[in-house]
Amino acid sequence: MTMKKEEIQMLIKESIPDAKIEIEDMRGDENHYSATVISKSFEGVSKINQHKMVYDSLKGKMGNELHALKLKTKSEL
């Protein structure tokens, strides 16, 4: 199974509404993505917990419909 980048973006936006999201399909296979997520809600939150917030927003699709996501997060400072 695969996921469109628009679906990934929608799921992240539902959980992190102020997020600025850039997603790139790294192989053109709708299965290996790179994402940068910028949000004020990441301020004061460890990188591990920032990534957890994003992975949680994917509602269990990581490892199933979505095989690989290279993730970069940062607060909006």
3.90.1150.10, 3.30.750.24, 3.90.105.10, 3.30.300.90: CATH of 5-32+39-70: 3.30.300.90
pLDDT of the residue at 63: 84
Helix (H) or strand (E) holding 34: strand 32-38
Distance CA 41, CA 65 (A): 26
Distance CA 18, CA 31 (A): 25
Q: For residues 2 and 76, which has the higher predicted lDDT (pLDDT)?
A: 2
pLDDT one-digit tens code per residue, 5-17: 999 999 999 999 9
pTM of the model: 0.91
pLDDT one-digit tens code per residue, 26-64: 999 999 999 999 999 999 999 999 999 999 999 989 888
The SS3 call for residue 17 is coil
Distance CA 12, CA 18 (A): 10
Q: Domains of the chain: which residue ranges?
A: 5-32+39-70
Which amino acid type is present at position 15? S
**Residue 1: band (very low, low, confident or very high) from pLDDT cuts 50, 70, 90:** confident
